[in-house]
Amino acid sequence: MSTCKPNTSDLGQSLYAMAEQLISLENRLKTLEEGKTKVAFSAMIEKGGAYGPFNTDVTLAFNKVFTNIGDAYNSSTGVFTAPVTGVYCFTLFYHAGGEHASVLTLFKNSEMVAITSDHQTGSDGADNGGNAVVLQMQQGDQVYVSMRANSHVWAADYHTSFSGFLLS
């Protein structure tokens, strides 16, 4: 009866080849991770208190920026411009006093995609609202928040915010 002994030379070569493949895969994974675009922003509107009402619709420039990874949000204009094609998530929250209606609309390339609002009532002391949306965006697409004419928000004390980030 003969026993079959493995050739240690062949085993060594196989292990060496597998180790090389593993190192190659690790390097490819690192390269993919390094090349992944990271995009996230979060900003508040801080303008000293009640902001509005105005006679026309106004794009809100959320001027107190907490995070702007990828520099895709412009705090001067209030416009987010997608740096890469992908799926993005956006959130919008506001607070306002009850003496005027509050209507905020989230736009993608001038197309309304979400709205949050509260109507003026005599007994209501404060209005709060929010909305969120997940959007497929192409590189260069823009998202912004517009406040409808004769609306207002509370633009102080960290109450009114606009945020977004790249999901995939």
Answer yes or no: is 113 within a domain: yes
Q: What is the pLDDT of residue 85?
A: 94
Per-residue pLDDT reduced to its tens digit, 115-150: 988 766 556 567 788 999 999 999 999 999 999 999
Answer yes or no: is 17 within a domain: no
Answer yes or no: is 32 within a domain: no
Answer yes or no: is 143 within a domain: yes
Distance CA 89, CA 165 (A): 6
Q: What is the mean pLDDT of the chain?
A: 86
The total domain count for the chain is 1
SS3 for 78-119 is CEEECCCCEEEEEEEEEEEECCCCEEEEEEECCEEEEEEEEC
* Domain limits for position 117: 40-166
pTM of the model: 0.77
Answer yes or no: is 10 within a domain: no
Per-residue pLDDT reduced to its tens digit, 60-81: 999 999 999 999 999 999 999 9
Answer yes or no: is 116 within a domain: yes
| Domain of residue 97, CATH code | 2.60.120.40
Answer yes or no: is 121 within a domain: yes
